[in-house]
Structure 1
């Protein structure tokens, strides 16, 4: 059996979740006695392949097409790599991009899809653990069929470490450009004072417990001391104490 982990990059950098994906994939490969293959589409694929060549990775597949994420390109490229590798399981980040193209990939493959996994087990068929009710409960899903596509929640597995000896294979694919219906024209930076909490390494998150808006000053002092970003629950945002871009939840 082979596990294929499809990495993700943004603005010229491999995202941390890609290395966490390798750890989850290696765990699954060990449980099935198989290999772990990584794949990356577009951008500086040679540099990304070097970064993905971690301990436990048997092969890295690259598709050199475009610079940034594109739904139609990723669906075609990932499907082509799946056809070439013939994996049992395909893993991808449970991110904005992952949730964009992975369902379409699963539909084209005709494989079951499970999203937002926080645990994996393949002792007797694939079992995926998901959180319910904001983490208050967990569900274990037994996946029917021999193959599956799974998206992995970030920060649930440690990043893969070490240096591997994976083979690197470049795939020269004929992308059907007539099927590429969108393109990236520009990136819009957030305004001054705004943040992208999904890119923060550490969050200091506040809720009803701060009681008064004035107490936010202490929270920001703590965040500065920890080199962290301030985020908030929905009641704080609904009260207008912090902007919506700082609200935590599904992100």
Structure 2
């Protein structure tokens, strides 16, 4: 039996905006298996970012169950959620979110500072991650010395350095030209082929269709006809 690494059961996330209630997610149930390469797609306001934040433990649901790699996150406190974010989920964002004064190696080391390992081991793991994404020769360059594609590769290396169960990418090619974006997608495809669970949040249909499975959202719900 294939293992579900993510399971959402009747998940709702509502926000109160003045006199209105915004139903960002409205009763979503779905499962993602270990090793799947999945895109979460939909127009602006469909609930993509909300779902990403919930899967990544950056937010908690108004109601419903969320299971991440065997742990029900709905009742966890901030410290417990932070542990899951650090150990089980690797994040890649559209704007890279690199620290400008740090080298590529130092940026990748950052998630390991709370892992309790020695300096030498941290540097070695970061160097290995950068080598994996093809940046062995750019370890000591700062972000302003790197191209957009290289910055995103540093961000991918940073996401991988803790060997997370899930790689969660939010519009990872949005700040890149089409050729560089395609190269980054090829990198995600390689990482998935190695057995990693990769989730791509995108409004770009062409990119989303490169994933093996597509989840379509509209108005906070799975689109009609979508099979869970």
| TM-score (normalizing by structure 2) | 0.26
Q: Larger RCO: Structure 1 or Structure 2 (Cα < 8 Å, ≥ 6 residues apart)?
A: 2
Q: Report which of the two structures shows the higher radius of gyration computed on alpha carbons.
A: 1
